[in-house]
Structure 1
């Protein structure tokens, strides 16, 4: 409401200035202008009409109400102080809007960190990453900023560990080797990314300090799963195949089943590129039994060779 009043006052002043300049030029020309006093009123009316038709947003009143209601909370967070009103009592979306507006006027590392954490709660990793980078630029030696950035990068990758995220986690662990939060993030995201060496390392580090009770059981389960997956990964690491077929559309997924006589094989999936071969091969013989498409999978026209690519 304050901004609306200020805008009206400025428009009236602009209209009055135009009217005075018009009157002065009229006197110089020896003319008397009548009815010109209506110009400021016309300017105000046109401005109000333009605001009503173009500039007004249905959420403007809500935004102004949030600004008035939660500005003190946002300012306290930016200053690194505990707000009189608990942040948990404030709607996350409203606090994000107010905090972002206040950070434009008064940026701070703690404010950007809080904004990034709120975006993380809202499931917006790209915005969380942007806020985390701004926080990190202002406070590069704070581990929490590195962890927030790592989490945002992992969430952007669908929960999987990436090299940039790993670099942030390594930065924290190099300085705080017993940081449970960093180890847990590393172990879980490495598991999802199929990087089982790192996952095993993470579960072992956690288990070395938390081996008792239900927590220890959960950590041992995670460690055992990482070891099993690592073993399977190593078993299939040297097995590769080339699938050749005609008249298949580009894209989609090809499932390759490796089956020995009398056993059921695990499916190995690969994304098929837009070419006649999947993938472009280099030829090497392999010693495993012949591979065949699994009956009933709709790939009977695909010929599986006993060769592998690299």
Structure 2
């Protein structure tokens, strides 16, 4: 509020000075000065309008208050120092806004990393990625920023390991082969992506350093699960369907899914594809699985939904095929027949 009042006073003084200068020069030139009061009046009106439209914005007050309360903490973080205020006492959303403002004036690798970590905490992976890139631009040797970038890329991929994320993690492991945080991030994301040999290697690396206590039990369970999923992958990672759409226009969006018989909600696996012609053959591979592979005794069905609109979402696919029970291991593709309602 103080800076708004100061700006208003400055504009008034400037208007008065300009008006006085205009009157003096006009009199020297022998021109009439009647109506000259309109000049400072216009400036005053513009200042008032600016205050009403901007200065009294509902977000301005809280923003200024956050700058006052947490500005010192943000400046300490940017300088690589420990803030006097405890992190638990600072709302993450407020600190994001304050850090953004401070970093626009004083960029620092530490500050960008802190901002990215806050975005990560708030579940904003795209913003986390941007902040991590800016931190690395200022300090390319910061392992923490490489892992922050990897986490953001993995989060944007639904928790699955991507080539770009693995490159960032590997950068850290090449320099710190026993970095537990890097190994855990790599292992969990590889497991989620169905890259089980890599996940198994990760669990084994962690167990070699943490073979005792409760942590070891958790790591062993993770290792056993990855080994079990690897065994099942040969059965579940390449399942096909032939989808017939007699009388339906091609060029739309087809969704093929696998779920447990009788279940609802998120399917076990799903694939979306624009179909140029019917019949269409689709295969669901490891990357299409949204959940862990089920046991061999689980009864599964494969179904399909379709919409003539290309690029549409699944909730717009109102044309469906009756789900068909699957026999595993699959010997031939399942045949699905779309029927318009």
TM range (shorter): 0.7 to 0.9
In structure 2, the residue matched to 1:274 is 275
Is the 2:241–2:333 Cα contact (8 Å) retained in structure 1? yes
TM-score by length of 1: 0.81
Is the 2:117–2:148 Cα contact (8 Å) retained in structure 1? yes
Is the 2:240–2:282 Cα contact (8 Å) retained in structure 1? no
The aligned runs of 1:63-142 (5 Å cut-off) are: 63-142=63-142
Q: Which deviates the most, 188-197 or 97-106?
A: 188-197
Q: How much has 1:241 moved relative to structure 2?
A: 4.6
The aligned runs of 1:42-53 (5 Å cut-off) are: 42-53=42-53
CA distance in 2, matches of 1:306, 1:120: 44
CA distance in 2, matches of 1:73, 1:175: 32
Q: How much has 1:268 moved relative to structure 2?
A: 6.0
CA distance in 1, matches of 2:257, 2:163: 28
TM-score by length of 2: 0.74
CA distance in 2, matches of 1:127, 1:267: 30
In structure 2, the residue matched to 1:60 is 60
CA distance in 2, matches of 1:47, 1:198: 64
Note closer, same or farther for the CA distance 1:229–1:63 as it changes in structure 2 (3 Å cut). Answer: same
Note closer, same or farther for the CA distance 1:295–1:117 as it changes in structure 2 (3 Å cut). Answer: closer
Note closer, same or farther for the CA distance 1:164–1:307 as it changes in structure 2 (3 Å cut). Answer: same
Q: Which runs of 5+ in 2 are unaligned?
A: 260-266, 284-299, 305-319, 335-341
> Which has the bigger relative contact order, CA under 8 A and spacing at least 6?
2
Q: How many residues align?
A: 288
In structure 1, the residue matched to 2:293 is none
SS in 1 for 2:123: coil
The aligned runs of 1:1-310 (5 Å cut-off) are: 1-20=1-20, 22-24=22-24, 26-27=26-27, 30-34=30-34, 36-37=36-37, 39-53=39-53, 56-237=56-237, 240-248=240-248, 250-255=252-257, 269-275=270-276, 276-279=278-281, 299=321, 306=332
Select the structure that is richer in strand. Answer: 2
CA distance in 2, matches of 1:170, 1:60: 44
RMSD: 3.1
CA distance in 1, matches of 2:35, 2:321: 86
CA distance in 2, matches of 1:168, 1:9: 53
CA distance in 2, matches of 1:131, 1:63: 21
CA distance in 1, matches of 2:301, 2:98: 58
CA distance in 2, matches of 1:280, 1:295: 12
Is the 1:113–1:145 Cα contact (8 Å) retained in structure 2? yes
Q: How much has 1:85 moved relative to structure 2?
A: 1.2
Q: How much has 1:46 moved relative to structure 2?
A: 2.9
Note closer, same or farther for the CA distance 1:84–1:272 as it changes in structure 2 (3 Å cut). Answer: closer
Is the 1:273–1:279 Cα contact (8 Å) retained in structure 2? no
Q: Which runs of 5+ in 1 are unaligned?
A: 258-265, 282-292
Note closer, same or farther for the CA distance 1:219–1:140 as it changes in structure 2 (3 Å cut). Answer: same
Q: How much has 1:117 moved relative to structure 2?
A: 0.4
Is the 1:109–1:139 Cα contact (8 Å) retained in structure 2? yes
Note closer, same or farther for the CA distance 1:32–1:166 as it changes in structure 2 (3 Å cut). Answer: same
